[in-house]
């Protein structure tokens, strides 16, 4: 379905300085010449947000989140006004807005607010005047008119929410990479850019450590079936389209291989194997707001069991504190910690209809003499925890085993 309205979002690296802003303006000019109406969402210039947070940290290690939002929301306001001026200089009608001005209404949280409503009447009015509407990403206001921000990946969320409200044909996400790859090109030299990937696969890839987009914005796009196009702002190449699963996609078994080296494994040794033990453990962990990724309980021997789980390395110290209490409470023998792990995962909607994918992964690792420590699967994902020193080798082997270096995905 042809729709002449496009929402474009440019990340911080794409608007890091005046020259790059001019570059963005030239791209917008080309779209305008082709007859498209445009709503453009911007992040703050380069590292502005981090610089502002540094200022705040010079005052206090625990600034109020409400004041943090007042502070960091200025970053996007600067970028949108500068882009609007640049477009006007090129004789393109343009107007900039804060999130609040275009009616992006959030809940009452600060620094990670959720959008509850987007009115966008103001945007529609300006589009009717044939203007490019430039909107500050990452921010909104709550019903009390307090400024809020949406957290990591917030500008993507703004873009997707506006695309939904305005009925845009596509939401383009401009960044400093050319799209979504079958593996990290720094690890796998023959990694290929995917032409298409489904929302579900992209969600798995995002949660497995592919840093292109945060899961929240992909979830919104999926919910409202808004096609996303992830592409580079530094060239005109087509990037990766993220959309609903289509027939052509199913022909390719696997869309990508990822690796996450930022998890640690916690193992509780010889815990009594009786009902409710896991509940006790993970209730206490959750109470400390620690996110657990994989959980594996080994087979019971003689009434005792080993139970392992992984947490982010960042949260390991907090997990340690909880664990020492729990071990005594449940009568386990002890607890061990391992930071030398890596989680290698493959993602692909093709798995749903093709058997043997897991077996092929295990065989591939075995053929390279790599031991598998933990395994976890979902409908479209298989993850294996292995020794960190084998991680890159494992990714390359799996990537080749599934022919990701060869198959051109439709």
Q: Which is nearer to its own copies, 56 or 296 (CB)?
A: 56
- Min separation Cβ 349 and its own copies, Å: 44
Q: Which is nearer to its own copies, 49 or 182 (CB)?
A: 49
Question: Buried b vs exposed e over 253-278: b needs ≥16 C-beta within 10 Å?
Answer: bbbbbbbbeebbbbbbebbebeeebb
Q: Which is nearer to its own copies, 85 or 292 (CB)?
A: 85
Q: Which residues pair with 37 in a beta bridge?
A: 5
- Min separation Cβ 157 and its own copies, Å: 21
Strands 304-312 and 292-297, sheet pairing: antiparallel
Q: Which is nearer to its own copies, 55 or 313 (CB)?
A: 55
With beta carbons less than 8 A apart as the criterion, state whether 105 and 117 touch: yes
- Min separation Cβ 248 and its own copies, Å: 44
Cα atoms in the Cβ-side hemisphere of radius 13 Å centred on 244: 6
Contacts of residue 399, Cβ cutoff 8 Å, sequence gap at least 6: 182, 183, 188, 190, 191, 257, 405
- Min separation Cβ 164 and its own copies, Å: 23
Sheet of strand 341-347, all strands in order from the earlier edge strand to the far edge: 256-260, 341-347, 381-387, 374-378
- Min separation Cβ 27 and its own copies, Å: 16
- Min separation Cβ 161 and its own copies, Å: 20
Distance CA 39, CA 21 (A): 15
Q: Which is nearer to its own copies, 52 or 375 (CB)?
A: 52
The contacts found for 21-27 with CB under 8 angstroms, 24 or more apart, are 21/79, 21/82, 21/83, 21/86, 22/86, 23/233, 23/234, 24/83, 24/86, 24/174, 24/233, 25/83, 25/86, 25/87, 25/90, 25/92, 26/90, 27/233
- Min separation Cβ 116 and its own copies, Å: 19
Q: Which is nearer to its own copies, 135 or 212 (CB)?
A: 135
- Min separation Cβ 60 and its own copies, Å: 4
- Min separation Cβ 80 and its own copies, Å: 7
DSSP SS3 for 217: helix
With beta carbons less than 8 A apart as the criterion, state whether 311 and 292 touch: yes
Contacts of residue 151, Cβ cutoff 8 Å, sequence gap at least 6: 111, 112, 113, 216
Farthest-apart Cα atoms in the chain, separation: 79
Q: What is the DSSP letter of 15?
A: G
Q: Which is nearer to its own copies, 147 or 252 (CB)?
A: 147
With beta carbons less than 8 A apart as the criterion, state whether 194 and 256 touch: yes
Cα atoms in the Cβ-side hemisphere of radius 13 Å centred on 2: 3
Q: Which is nearer to its own copies, 76 or 293 (CB)?
A: 76
Q: Which is nearer to its own copies, 63 or 169 (CB)?
A: 63
Phi and psi at residue 409, in whole multiples of 5°?
A: -75, 130
Q: Which is nearer to its own copies, 93 or 185 (CB)?
A: 93
With beta carbons less than 8 A apart as the criterion, state whether 112 and 289 touch: no
Residues in contact with its own copies by the rule CB under 8 A: 18, 21-22, 52, 55-56, 58-60, 63-64, 66-68, 70-71, 73-74, 77-78, 80-82, 84-86, 88-89, 95-96, 98, 101, 145-147
- Min separation Cβ 410 and its own copies, Å: 42
């Amino acid at each position: 379905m042809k729709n002449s309205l496009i929402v474009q979002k440019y990340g911080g690296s794409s608007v890091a300085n005046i020259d790059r802003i001019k570059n963005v303006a030239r791209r917008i000019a080309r779209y305008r010449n082709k007859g498209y109406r445009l709503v453009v969402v911007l992040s703050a210039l380069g590292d502005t947000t981090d610089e502002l947070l540094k200022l705040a940290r010079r005052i206090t290690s625990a600034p109020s989140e409400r004041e943090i939002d007042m502070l960091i929301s200025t970053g996007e306001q600067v970028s949108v006004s500068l882009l609007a001026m640049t477009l006007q200089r090129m004789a393109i009608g343009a107007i900039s807005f804060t999130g609040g001005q275009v009616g992006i209404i959030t809940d009452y949280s600060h620094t990670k607010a959720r959008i509850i409503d987007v009115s966008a009447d103001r945007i529609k009015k300006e589009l009717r005047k044939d203007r490019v509407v430039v909107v500050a990403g990452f921010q909104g206001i709550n019903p009390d008119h307090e400024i809020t921000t949406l957290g990591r990946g917030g500008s993507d969320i703004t873009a997707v929410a506006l695309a939904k409200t305005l009925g845009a044909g596509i939401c383009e996400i401009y960044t400093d990479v050319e799209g979504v790859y079958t593996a990290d090109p720094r690890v796998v030299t023959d990694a290929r850019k995917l032409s298409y990937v489904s929302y579900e696969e992209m969600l798995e890839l995002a949660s497995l450590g592919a840093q292109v987009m945060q899961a929240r914005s992909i979830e919104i796009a999926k919910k409202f079936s808004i096609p996303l196009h992830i592409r580079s702002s530094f060239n005109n190449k087509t990037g990766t389209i993220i959309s609903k699963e289509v027939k052509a996609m199913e022909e390719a078994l696997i869309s990508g291989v990822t690796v996450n080296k930022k998890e640690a494994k916690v193992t509780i040794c010889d815990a009594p194997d009786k009902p409710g033990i896991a509940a006790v453990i993970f209730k206490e962990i959750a109470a400390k707001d620690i996110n657990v990724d994989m959980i594996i309980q080994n087979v019971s021997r003689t009434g005792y069991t080993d139970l392992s789980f992984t947490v982010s390395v960042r949260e390991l110290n907090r997990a340690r504190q909880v664990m020492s209490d729990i071990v005594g409470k449940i009568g386990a023998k002890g607890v061990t910690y391992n930071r030398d792990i890596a989680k290698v995962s493959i993602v692909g909607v093709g798995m749903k209809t093709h058997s043997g994918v897991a077996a092929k992964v295990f065989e591939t690792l075995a053929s390279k003499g790599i031991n598998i420590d933990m395994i976890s699967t979902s409908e479209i994902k298989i993850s294996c925890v292995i020794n960190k020193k084998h991680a890159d080798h494992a990714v390359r082997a799996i990537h080749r085993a599934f022919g990701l270096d060869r198959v051109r995905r439709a």
